[in-house]
């Protein structure tokens, strides 16, 4: 990934999304050639010269200070994820020169697997920032069974979303989910642009999926921490579940994703049915048998 181009395109994309009205700027007569802000307007609001802002938007961000980045984040009204991404991109530019590296084999500590297994009535799995599922409990494996239909390991939520036709049936809200997946990968690419496995994944998805490629070009980023998912499970049917991500500070990049249903709701009853179905699976299919895999 060209880090200068990434920084340049991200700034330009955020500028294009913000209208003068949203920025609180007065509107003057005449036609504007751009729907979003002009470069000089961003420079004015950020308190930098137009020449310097133009330099930044061309990707010349070596030595840019945190105070300037903060000013840009305020001027462009960046949210938490966008602000973090801007800083990550600037940090990458100022530490450029590192070659792409292969991440070590993903490992899930036994204590993390025990935590997952203890959540017997809660579907849960552990995933990394590339959205690979590295460990599950029994109910979690049953819930995301369609993702595991692909024999490739580790099971990839990103590949399932864009390369498996079953994803459109499984995710009732496929469109926003697909955009969230891309935004999460975008965030990670800014945080760790030297991750070879991530580069390979983005390259594969860009080559094989026009839908992914279009969304990737939008430069949107998002923190994937909590929300609601509407699923159509092949065994129990429609499910509406809340999800929460719990980061594991001792394992940077890993998080436990847990799902829950409103008490006494149809989805809660279907989770109980799913648990009964999961209990009938052969021992060789239980998640504890393959809770780690190589990238």
Find the CATH number of the domain harbouring 217. 3.30.450.180
**How high is the pLDDT of residue 166?**
97
Q: How far apart are CA 94 and CA 7, in angstroms?
A: 11
Q: Is residue 102 part of a domain?
A: no
119, 87: one domain: no
**How high is the pLDDT of residue 28?**
58
Q: Is residue 99 part of a domain?
A: no
Which residues fall within 8 angstroms of residue 284, CB to CB, at 6 or more apart?
Answer: none
- Sheet containing strand 237-247, strands side by side: 155-156, 132-136, 124-127, 255-260, 237-247, 226-233
**How high is the pLDDT of residue 182?**
98
149, 275: one domain: yes
126, 251: one domain: yes
How many separate domains does the chain show? 2
Q: Is residue 239 part of a domain?
A: yes
164, 206: one domain: yes
171, 223: one domain: yes
Which of residues 36, 66, 94 is at a domain's end? 94
**How high is the pLDDT of residue 283?**
45
135, 196: one domain: yes
140, 270: one domain: yes
Q: Is residue 248 part of a domain?
A: yes
Q: Is residue 151 part of a domain?
A: yes
11, 64: one domain: yes
232, 145: one domain: yes
**How high is the pLDDT of residue 98?**
61
Q: For the packed helices 66-75 and 80-94, what is the interaxial angle rounded to 10 degrees?
A: 150
138, 236: one domain: yes
Q: What CATH number does residue 70 fall under? A: 1.10.260.40
Domain that holds residue 175: 110-289
115, 251: one domain: yes
Which of residues 37, 64, 94 is at a domain's end? 94
Q: Is residue 103 part of a domain?
A: no
87, 117: one domain: no
Burial (CB < 10 A; 0-12, 13-18, 19+), residue 287, is buried
> Can you give the pLDDT of all 295 residues of the chain as single tens digits?
688 999 999 999 999 999 998 998 876 555 677 779 999 999 999 999 999 999 999 999 989 999 999 999 999 999 999 999 999 999 988 876 666 556 666 689 999 999 999 999 999 999 999 999 999 999 999 999 999 999 999 999 999 999 999 999 999 999 999 999 999 999 999 999 989 999 999 999 999 999 999 999 999 999 888 999 999 999 999 999 999 999 999 999 999 999 999 999 999 999 999 999 998 874 445 444 444 443 3
**How high is the pLDDT of residue 95?**
77
Q: How far apart are CA 29 and CA 48, in angstroms?
A: 25
Q: Is residue 294 part of a domain?
A: no
Q: Is residue 7 part of a domain?
A: yes
């Amino acid at each position: 990934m060209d880090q200068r181009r990434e920084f340049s395109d991200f700034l330009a994309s955020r500028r294009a999304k913000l209208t003068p009205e949203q920025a609180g700027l007065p509107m003057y007569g005449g036609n504007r050639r751009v729907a979003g802000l002009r470069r000089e307007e961003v420079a004015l609001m950020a308190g930098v010269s137009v020449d310097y802002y133009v330099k930044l938007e061309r990707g010349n961000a070596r030595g840019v200070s945190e105070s300037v980045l903060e000013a840009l984040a305020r001027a462009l009204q960046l949210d938490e994820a966008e602000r973090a991404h801007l800083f990550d991109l600037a940090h990458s530019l100022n530490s450029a020169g590192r070659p792409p590296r292969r991440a070590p084999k993903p490992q899930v500590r036994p204590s993390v697997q025990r935590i997952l297994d203890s959540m017997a009535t809660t579907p849960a799995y552990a995933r990394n920032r590339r959205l690979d599922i590295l460990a599950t409990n029994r109910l979690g494996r049953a819930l995301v069974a369609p993702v595991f239909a692909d024999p490739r390991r580790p099971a990839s939520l990103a590949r399932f979303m864009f390369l498996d036709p079953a994803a459109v049936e499984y995710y009732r809200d496929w469109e926003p989910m697909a955009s969230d997946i891309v935004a999460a990968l975008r965030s990670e690419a800014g945080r760790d642009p030297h991750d070879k496995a991530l580069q390979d994944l983005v390259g594969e998805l860009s080559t094989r999926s026009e839908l992914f490629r279009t969304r990737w070009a939008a430069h949107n980023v998002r923190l994937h921490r909590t929300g609601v998912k509407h699923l159509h499970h092949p065994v129990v049917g429609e499910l509406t579940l809340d999800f929460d991500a719990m980061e594991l500070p001792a394992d940077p990049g890993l998080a436990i994703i847990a799902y829950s249903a409103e008490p006494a709701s149809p989805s809660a009853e279907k989770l109980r049915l799913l648990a009964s179905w999961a209990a009938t699976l052969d021992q060789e299919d239980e998640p504890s048998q393959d809770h780690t895999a190589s990238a």
